Amino acid sequence: MPDGRADPQHKYVEIRIEKREPEDDQSKNAGSVIPGNLRARRLDEITWFVSQRVSPPPPSALPPADKDYSVSARRLPHVTLTLIFKENRHPFVDQKNFQLVSQQGGLITAKVMIGPADGKEEQYYHYGFEVKENDKVILKDVHCPEIIIQR
């Protein structure tokens, strides 16, 4: 940008179902948020989407044997994703609605409109999420992934 700030970017957050579990018995490793701590700046756009691991099977307690490995996943466009922001605040346009719900294609895209408070270098926003398929919850997490808005 002409004032020396970085140009706005489009960032992506993958909510990956690692293994399907009944809602009342979701294990500690039922899902992943990638990245769990997203750094963004004012005017960046963020898109959240849901995927499901295809291979290899969900991780065990042991790390992969090889230094290089990959995970295959497929996007789930038919699900409904809801983001629930903690402390009734988020850095997006509509500050009155603290839940963001996916539209067609299972995506949520929002533009960061609020920078850190005066004098702060960073501002943290925590959220939980719920993924539904055919009105049934298939993944729910309230362990607070975060968006870190930087100056």
24 pLDDT band (50/70/90 cuts)? low
Residue 61 has pLDDT above 70, yes or no: no
Superfamily of domain 10-57+72-150: Cupredoxins -  blue copper proteins (2.60.40.420)
Q: What are the pLDDT digits (tens) for 102-143?
A: 988 999 999 999 888 888 899 999 999 999 999 999 999 877
- Pick the residue with more confidence: 27 or 40? 40
- What pTM value is reported for the model? 0.84
Chain centroid to CA 41: 16
Residue 78 has pLDDT above 90, yes or no: yes
**Could you tell me which residues are beta bridge partners of residue 42?**
none
What Rg, from alpha-carbon coordinates, does the chain have? 17
Cis before 35? omega within 30: yes
The conformation of residue 82, written as its DSSP 8-state character, comes to: E
Average pLDDT over the chain reads 84
